[in-house]
Structure 1
Amino acid sequence: MTTRTTTTTRNTTPRAADGARRGVLAVDEGTTGTRAGVVLDSGAVDEVFYQPIRVSHPDPLSVEQDPMEIWTATLDVCRRALNHAREEGVEVTAVALTTQRATAILWDRVTGLPLLPAVVWQDRRYAREMLAYEAEWDQVLLARTGRPVGSRAPYLWAARQIERRPEVAAAHREGRLLFGTVDTWLIWQLTGGATHATTATNACSTGGYLLREHAWDLEWIGHQGFPTQLLPDLRADDADFGVTDADTLGVAVPLAASMGDQHAALLALGGLRAGDGMCVYGTGAFVDVTTGAEPALPRPDISGVLAQPGWRQGDTTRYSLEGYSPTIGSALRWLCDELGMFGSPREIGELAAQGRRGTRRNRPTFVPALAGIRVPLWRPEATGALTGLSLATTKADIARAVLEGIAHSVADLVDGVAATMGAPFRQLTVGGGVSGSDQLLRIQADLLGMPLERAADSATASLRGSAYLAGVSTGLWSSLEEVVHAQPAGQTYQPELDEDDRAEGRAAWHALFGDHLGEPLPRVDPPRADPAHDGPQTTAPPAAGTPHRDSRS
C-alpha cells in the first residue's frame, strides 16, 4: 500500500503593535559546532551562522575539546548574528543558550582561562571505575535522579584532577577554581564572570540532579570525591542569568534562558502536553516524550530509557523520558563511505521505494546495531547484520532493508519509552537530517501504527526551543503555546499497513534477536481522540522483570 502524505499550515504570530521587529539571539552549542541566529517574534529563525569545533580523542576512551575554542566560536557566531540583525532592523531583546549536555570544564575565575581540556559527554575513561558503584547505587539513583550510575563521570573526573594535578589543586586551595558544564562556562563568559550557574535540563545529564526536588544530589556527588562547594548555582531553564557584557558581546540584554539540546528541541517541536513526543534522526536517534507534572521513572526491565526534566519554567517542571539509538545516520554513512554500497543516503531512500516487500523469507534484513543495542535491553556486544541474501536480491531490496532496519530500531525506542511512560504517545513529530527521506517516514509510520509529522523547520528546533522560553520570560510572547502553535506544520505521514501485517513485521524483527532481547514489550495502543483530556490515559506498567541497566547513560 502507499502511505498518504499531507501538508498543512498554521497562522504565524503577528508583529508587535508598534510594527518593530524584535527577536531573541539564540545560541546552539553542539559537540561538533556552534550556531547562532535571531529568532524573530514570528517564532522563525532569520539566518543561522555556524562555526565548527574540533573534537579530539587522545586515546580510545577519552574525548576532549578546547573550552576556549568553544567560547571563541560562540562569540564569533553571536557577533555575526547580531550584525545581521542590525542590518535587517531587528531589535534583539534577549539571549538564549542551548548546549551539549554533560561536557565538563574546570577553569580559573581570576584569569578566566580553562585549566584543562573539557571532558566531553562521550568520554569513557572512568567507565570501569563507575562500574564499582552500580550494585550499591543503581536502584537508588534510578528512583531519585531518573538514571543509573552510567559511565559519564564529570564529578569523578573533576575530583581526580584536583587530586592529581598541582595547578588544579592550587586553584581549588586558593578559591580560584570553577567547575561547570558547557552552559555554565558560556553563561559565565557572556555575563563577564558575573554568573556561575546551570539549569535543570543541563544538570540532569550529569547524573547528579534530584528530579522532584530540583536540587543537587549532594550525597552521590560527594561520594565520588567531588567538593560540592564547587557546584554551580542551580536554576530554572528560564531564570534571570543576568545581563550580557556589552564590552564582550556588543549588547547588554538579559540572558534569559539556557537549555540542554534535546530538551530545547522537544519544546520547539511541540512537546507541550503529556504524550507529545519527538524523534530526531541524526547520527543516532533520540526519542523524547513529555510526561507531565510528575516524573515517569525508568522501569528496571527496560534499559536505556531515562527520566529527566523536559524543561523547568519558573518553579514548575514538566518532565520527560528519553531513549537513544547510536547508529542511524552513522549507519547510512558507513554503508556509503566505508563500504561504497551506495553513492549517498539520498540514493538509499530513492532505491528503497523500488525494493520488494513481503515476508522475510524472500528478502533481506538489515540490523543497524553497529554500536550495540540500548533499548529495551543494553547489549553492547550486539553487532550489525545484513541477512536473507540470495541471487534474486537487488540493490533496491538492500536499500529498503536498510530503511526498514532503521525504522524498526526507532520503533523499539518508541515502544520502550511508551511502555516506561505506561501510556501511548499522543503525537510524534520528527526531524533531523535523516528524516528528509520520505520513504523512511512512510515505513516508520507503518511500523508504529500512528501518524508522524515531519517538522517544517526541524534543523533549527534546538535554537528555537530555548529562544521561545527566553521570549516568554521577557514578554515577547505571552506563553509557550502561543509561539509553538503559531509555527507552520510540516508534512504528515499516515500509516497504511493493517494491524496484522504490522504485528507480523514487528514479531519477525524481534525474532532476529532470539532470546537476547527477552519478551517483546507490550503494545501501548495509540490513544482514542478525547478532546476533554489534556494528557494520555495512563495505565500501570507491567510488573518489573529481572533488573537490567544502561551503563552508558
Structure 2
Amino acid sequence: MTPRNDVILAIDEGTSGTRAAVVSADGHVQCLHYATLEIHSPCPGVVEQDANALLERTLSVCRATLSQAAGENLNVVALAVATQRATAVLWDTGTGRALVPAMVWQDTRYAAELSQLAPAWDPILRQTVGRPSGVRSPYLWAARHLRDTPTVAEAFRAGRLAFGTIDTWLLWHLSTARACLTTPTNATSCNAYVLTEHRYQLDWIDALGFPRELLPELRQDADDFGRTRPEVLGLDVPILACAGDQLAGAIGLGCLDPGQAMCLHGTGSFVDLIVGPQLPARTGMSDSTLTMTARRQQGVSHFSVETFVATTGSALDWVCGKLGWFDNARQISALAGTVASARGVSFIPALTGLRVPRMQPEARAALSGISMATTRAEMAFAILEGIAQSVASCIDANQDIAGVPVSALVVGGGLSGSDALLQMQADLSGIPVHRMKETDRASLRGIAYLAGASGLLWDSMQQARATTTPEAVFEPAISADQRAQRRAHWQARVASELDHADALAAKPAGMRTQTH
C-alpha cells in the first residue's frame, strides 16, 4: 500500500516558463511554483533563450516546491522531468555553464540551408525518422557553432564540450550520473531519431557535420536516470522519467489509446492523435504532420501524429505585452465572450511562419478584415478564433496522415481555461472538446504517471490515468453549413498569406521585404 503522503516531484520546463510541483497517488498536483522565462528574437527566424537562467529558475521553483512539501509533511519519493523539445544547448562540463544562447525549437535560421539538403535526404528521412529535413536542426546549429564560435571549438578540443536538448541539460545538472542523456519523445523532435529502431540516423548526423561523440545517450522515457544530487536540491531520490512536455501532457490528460486526440495550449498549440505501437500508414508523407514517439517504456514505443501552431500563447503575450492592445489573455477571452462573431475580422497567428496546411517559414501573422465599425471585442474574438481555426486545421491534417478518426478532443495547457476559445474549437472542428480538472497541469501529472506507474504510486498507466477527471465538455453549437462557411473564409485568408509568402521567398534575399 502506497503511503498517503508519498509524492513525486515533477518539473515542467516549458518555453515561456518553468514549473515544479508534487503529484500524489490521487493525481492531485500541489505545491506548484512557477517562474517566467524570456525568449529573445534578435532578427527574423532566430529564437534564443539563456540556458543558464533557465536552469537557475528551474532549480529555484524546485526548491520552493520542496520547501512547501516538507512543510505539509509530504514525502518525495522520485523526480520526473518534462521539458520543451528540440531546444538545444552547448555547455562546458568544467564550469557547467552554457557557452552560447540556446537555440529554441521555434528557430528557423537554417531553413534555407536545410532546404538545399532536402532533395537528397528527405526520401531517406521520411522513411526512417518520419519527417523531412525541416526548417531547424539542433545538430546543424551545434555544428555551425563548432565551426564559427571559438569558445565552443576550444571546449570541444579540450574534451569539455557537452551538447543536448533541455532534457539533457537538466538531467546533467540534476543527476549524480552527470551523463548526457535524452529520450525518444525529445529526440524525435530533433529530426534524427529512427522511430522503429530506437537509435540515431547517424548518416544524417554526419551529413550535418555534427560529431557523433557529442550525441546524448538514448534512454526510454520511463527509465533509470540516476539519483538526484543532494547538493543541488537537498534531495536524494531516483529520477524515473523524462519526456517532452507535449507528450507528458497527453499522458496527463489520459490520452493513451489509439484514436484519442489532445491539444495542449502553451507557447504554441500542439495537437496529437494517438496511433499506438504501429507506425501510421502515411508516416513521412507530410512536411508538417509528423509522426512522434508518444512514449517509450518497457521496451515498447507508442506513436502519435502531431501538428502544431508555433505561436498561439506567445501571440497573445505579444498582443498584450508588446502591442499593449489588451491587459492580458484573460481580458481577451472575456471580451471575446461578449460578441457572437468577429464580423469578418480574421487573425492568422503565424508570427514565426506557417506549418498547416503546408510548411512556409516565410509566412507571417496577419490581421485583416478590419473596418471603422470593428470593435475591440471583435478583435479579441478574431484573435481567439485564429487559434481555434489553426487547431481545427491541425486536427484535419492529423486524421489525414493517421487514417484514424477523432471522436473527441481533450485539451490542456494555460489557454484551455478560456471557455470562449474551447467553444470556438468545438464549433470549428465539429467534435466535442473535453477539459479535464487541473488541465493546465497536465504535463506535471503525466510525467509523474510515467515515473510512478511501475508500482511506486500506481500499478499501471491505466490505474494512473483513472485519477484524471473531467471538468467541462464543449459541444459544437453551430450548423455544418456555418462551420463550412467559417472554415472556408479562414482557409481563403491563409491561402492569400501563403501566396504572398511564396512570392517573397522566390525573390533574391536582398530584395525580400515583408509588405502587404
Deviation at residue 343 of structure 1 after TM alignment: 5.3
1:98 equivalent to 2:91? Answer no
1:120 equivalent to 2:101? Answer no
Is contact 1:268-1:468 (8 Å) kept?
yes
Residue 88 and residue 303 in structure 1: after superposition, are their counterparts in 2 closer, same or farther (change >3 A)?
same
**Counterpart for residue 57 of structure 2:** 73
Aligned counterparts of 1:347 and 1:162: Cα–Cα separation in 2: 46
Aligned partner (choices 332, 343, 346) of residue 366 of structure 1: 346
Aligned partner (choices 241, 244, 259) of residue 243 of structure 2: 259
Deviation at residue 187 of structure 1 after TM alignment: 1.2
Residue 80 and residue 513 in structure 1: after superposition, are their counterparts in 2 closer, same or farther (change >3 A)?
closer
**Counterpart for residue 549 of structure 1:** none
Aligned partner (choices 411, 414, 424) of residue 443 of structure 1: 424
Aligned partner (choices 118, 127, 131) of residue 147 of structure 1: 131
Is contact 1:312-1:318 (8 Å) kept?
yes
1:407 equivalent to 2:388? Answer yes
Deviation at residue 458 of structure 1 after TM alignment: 1.8
Provide Cα deviations, 1:9-52, integer angstroms capped at 9, x if missing partner: xxxxxxx46x5410111111222332111111211111111233
SS at match of 2:63: helix
Aligned partner (choices 282, 300, 311) of residue 295 of structure 2: 311
Q: Larger deviation: 56-65 or 142-151?
A: 56-65
Residue 116 and residue 331 in structure 1: after superposition, are their counterparts in 2 closer, same or farther (change >3 A)?
closer
Aligned counterparts of 1:127 and 1:164: Cα–Cα separation in 2: 18
Q: Larger deviation: 393-402 or 80-89?
A: 393-402
Residue 162 and residue 401 in structure 1: after superposition, are their counterparts in 2 closer, same or farther (change >3 A)?
closer
**Counterpart for residue 230 of structure 2:** 246
Deviation at residue 56 of structure 1 after TM alignment: 3.8
Q: Larger deviation: 335-344 or 398-407?
A: 335-344
Query: Where in structure 2 are there 5+ consecutive unaligned residues?
Result: 500-516
**Counterpart for residue 138 of structure 1:** 122
Aligned partner (choices 373, 387, 390) of residue 369 of structure 2: 387
Aligned counterparts of 1:504 and 1:229: Cα–Cα separation in 2: 54
Q: Larger deviation: 269-278 or 163-172?
A: 163-172
Q: Larger deviation: 412-421 or 380-389?
A: 380-389
Deviation at residue 278 of structure 1 after TM alignment: 1.1
SS at match of 1:236: coil
1:425 equivalent to 2:409? Answer no
Q: Larger deviation: 498-507 or 31-40?
A: 498-507
Deviation at residue 297 of structure 1 after TM alignment: 6.2
Letter in 2 for 1:373: L
SS at match of 1:311: strand
Aligned counterparts of 1:185 and 1:226: Cα–Cα separation in 2: 18
Deviation at residue 413 of structure 1 after TM alignment: 1.1
Aligned partner (choices 44, 49, 68) of residue 84 of structure 1: 68
**Counterpart for residue 206 of structure 2:** 222
Provide Cα deviations, 1:414-457, integer angstroms capped at 9, x if missing partner: 11111111121143111233222222222321221211111211
SS at match of 1:226: coil
Q: Which has the bigger relative contact order, CA under 8 A and spacing at least 6?
A: 1
Is contact 2:51-2:102 (8 Å) kept?
yes
Provide Cα deviations, 1:61-107, integer angstroms capped at 9, x if missing partner: 44333333233222222222222222211111110111111122223
Query: Where in structure 1 are there 5+ consecutive unaligned residues?
Result: 1-15, 519-553
1:460 equivalent to 2:441? Answer yes
Structure ranking higher in helix proportion: 2
Residue 122 and residue 341 in structure 1: after superposition, are their counterparts in 2 closer, same or farther (change >3 A)?
closer
Letter in 2 for 1:216: Y
Provide Cα deviations, 1:301-339, integer angstroms capped at 9, x if missing partner: 754211110111120111111111234344445555566
Is contact 1:195-1:242 (8 Å) kept?
no
Aligned counterparts of 2:95 and 2:139: Cα–Cα separation in 1: 23
The count of corresponding residues between Structure 1 and Structure 2 is 497
Given the two structures, how large is their TM-score scaled by the length of structure 2?
0.88
Letter in 2 for 1:365: V
Aligned counterparts of 1:156 and 1:221: Cα–Cα separation in 2: 8
Residue 474 and residue 515 in structure 1: after superposition, are their counterparts in 2 closer, same or farther (change >3 A)?
same
**Alignment map for 1:531-542 (pairs within 5 Å):** none
Letter in 1 for 2:392: A
Which structure has the bigger radius of gyration? Answer: 1
Deviation at residue 276 of structure 1 after TM alignment: 1.0
Aligned counterparts of 2:213 and 2:107: Cα–Cα separation in 1: 24
Deviation at residue 182 of structure 1 after TM alignment: 1.4
Is contact 2:277-2:301 (8 Å) kept?
yes
Aligned partner (choices 452, 457, 472) of residue 491 of structure 1: 472
**Counterpart for residue 278 of structure 2:** 294
SS at match of 1:239: coil
Is contact 1:23-1:93 (8 Å) kept?
yes
Letter in 2 for 1:366: S
1:29 equivalent to 2:29? Answer no
Letter in 2 for 1:241: F
Deviation at residue 254 of structure 1 after TM alignment: 0.7
1:509 equivalent to 2:493? Answer no
Is contact 1:266-1:289 (8 Å) kept?
no
Is contact 1:29-1:100 (8 Å) kept?
yes
Letter in 2 for 1:126: Y
**Counterpart for residue 451 of structure 2:** 470
**Counterpart for residue 323 of structure 1:** 307
Cα RMSD, aligned residues only: 2.7
Is contact 1:143-1:297 (8 Å) kept?
no
Given the two structures, how large is their TM-score scaled by the length of structure 1?
0.82
**Alignment map for 1:179-198 (pairs within 5 Å):** 179-198=163-182
Letter in 2 for 1:103: T
Is contact 2:349-2:387 (8 Å) kept?
no
SS at match of 1:89: coil
SS at match of 1:48: strand
Is contact 1:268-1:484 (8 Å) kept?
yes
